[in-house]
């Protein structure tokens, strides 16, 4: 079972990883976007950590709603509303819960990913963060009982999904302006998603 404190630890670890990898995320975005994804995500996740420090959260719903709203208001760029929607929908799926077992986690992540797809009007294979989220969700939902194993599988699938964006041609977001010239570059949003799944696996392992 992931408790509220575990979910907070997930968000804090995500912020750490995004901070450590901010320059890489920005370099990916420099190749096919506007070179701000690392800075955007670092600013947003820093604000999330401040909100965690300032507040106290007793349900999955309140914790993740605050997280999502903070990202929407601080990240800017396409990724802010998309990640914001992810956390708000994930929280709404388990609003009054005080912890998540594996199947509840998988269901909540599924709701969050559906939120990204509807907000971004995107689907698999368009070279976006969804190309990391979808394989991660499939891995998580395939066998969710053992949280440590399921989240490790999801993190590995997200990393593979990130790498699989490299040969894709972008058809959504800023990178789509480059059309064929987006081929050969890894999607920055898929890379930040892989970090968020890595953080989840680390927290679930403890
Ligand atoms: P911006 O492109 O506005 O500068 P960011 O650089 O922070 O925003 O985020 C870019 C990332 O957002 C992309 O790498 C991609 O993963 C994701 N993204 C952009 N548009 C969409 C969309 N319509 N659906 C899903 N993800 C998207
Ligand atoms: Mg950008
Ligand atoms: Mg931008």
Interval 109-156: pLDDT, tens: 999 999 999 999 999 999 999 999 999 999 999 999 999 999 999 999
**Would you state the structure tokens that stand for residue 41, as one six-digit string?**
């995500």
**DSSP string for residues in 22-34:** HHHHHHHHHHHS-
- Return the ligand 1 atom nearest residue 189 CA: 16
pLDDT at 63 over 90: yes
Which domains are present in the chain? Answer: 2-205 (1.25.40.340)
Distance from the alpha carbon of residue 98 to the mean position of ligand 1, in angstroms: 31
- Grade residue 165 by pLDDT with cuts at 50, 70 and 90: very high
> Ligand 1: which residue has its CA nearest to atom 5?
37
Ligand nearest to the CA of 174: 1
Ligand 2 centroid–CA 144 distance in Å is 33
User: Per-residue pLDDT tens for 9-62?
Assistant: 999 999 999 999 999 999 999 999 999 999 999 999 999 999 999 999 999 999
Question: Residue 49's Cα: distance from chain center in Å?
Answer: 15
Q: Residues of the chain with pLDDT > 70: what percent?
A: 100
Q: Measuring from atom 26 of ligand 1, which residue has the nearest CA?
A: 128
The pLDDT of residue 94: 98
Cα separation, 181 vs 175, whole angstroms: 9
Locus of tokens 């929407």: 72
Q: How far is the CA of 50 from the centre of ligand 2 (A)?
A: 23
Would you place residue 74 in the very low, low, confident or very high pLDDT band (cuts 50, 70, 90)?
very high
> For residue 182, what are the contacts with CB-CB under 8 A and spacing of at least 6?
32, 127, 168, 169, 170, 175, 176
pLDDT at residue 206 in the model? 85
Mutation to probe ligand 1, out of 35, 44, 132, 189 (largest number of atoms < 8 A from CB): 189
CA pair distance 60, 100, nearest whole angstrom: 8
Q: Considering the chain, what is the average pLDDT of its residues?
A: 98
* Closest ligand 1 atom, residue 28 Cα: 14
Q: Which residues have C-beta within 8 Å of that of residue 69, sequence separation ≥ 6?
A: 84, 88
2-3 and 99-100 strand pairing: antiparallel
pLDDT exceeding 90 applies to what percent of the chain?
A: 99
pTM: 0.98
User: Is the confidence at residue 76, as pLDDT, over 90?
Assistant: no
Average pLDDT over residues 71-85: 96
Distance from the alpha carbon of residue 57 to the mean position of ligand 3, in angstroms: 31
Most informative mutation of 78, 121, 124, 186 for ligand 1 (most atoms within 8 A of CB): 78
Q: What is the pLDDT of residue 203?
A: 98
Q: How far is the CA of 142 from the centre of ligand 3 (A)?
A: 35
Q: Respond yes or no on whether ipTM tops 0.95.
A: yes
- What distance lies between CA 176 and its chain's CA centroid? 21
Ligand 1 surroundings by CB, under 6 angstroms: 29, 33-34, 36-37, 40, 77-79, 82, 116, 120, 122, 128-130, 172-174, 187-190
Query: Looking at the predicted structure, is the pLDDT value of residue 159 above 90?
Result: yes
């Amino acid at each position: 079972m992931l408790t509220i404190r575990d979910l907070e630890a997930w968000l804090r670890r995500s912020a750490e990883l995004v901070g450590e990898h901010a320059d890489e995320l920005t370099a990916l975005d420099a190749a096919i976007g506007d070179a701000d994804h690392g800075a955007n995500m670092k600013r947003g996740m820093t604000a999330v950590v401040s909100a965690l420090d300032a507040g106290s959260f007793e349900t999955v719903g309140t914790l993740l709603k605050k997280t999502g709203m903070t990202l929407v208001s601080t990240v800017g760029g396409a990724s802010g509303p998309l990640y914001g929607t992810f956390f708000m929908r994930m929280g709404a799926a388990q609003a009054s819960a005080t912890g998540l077992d594996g199947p509840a986690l998988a269901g909540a992540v599924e709701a969050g990913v559906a939120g990204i797809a509807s907000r971004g009007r995107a689907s698999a294979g368009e070279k976006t963060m969804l190309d990391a989220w979808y394989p991660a969700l499939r891995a998580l939902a395939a066998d969710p009982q053992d949280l440590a194993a399921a989240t490790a599988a999801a993190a590995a699938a997200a990393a593979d999904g990130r790498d699989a964006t490299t040969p894709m041609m972008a058809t959504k977001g800023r990178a789509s302006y480059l059309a064929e010239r987006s081929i050969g570059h890894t999607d920055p949003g898929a890379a930040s998603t892989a970090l968020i799944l890595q953080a989840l696996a680390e927290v679930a392992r403890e």
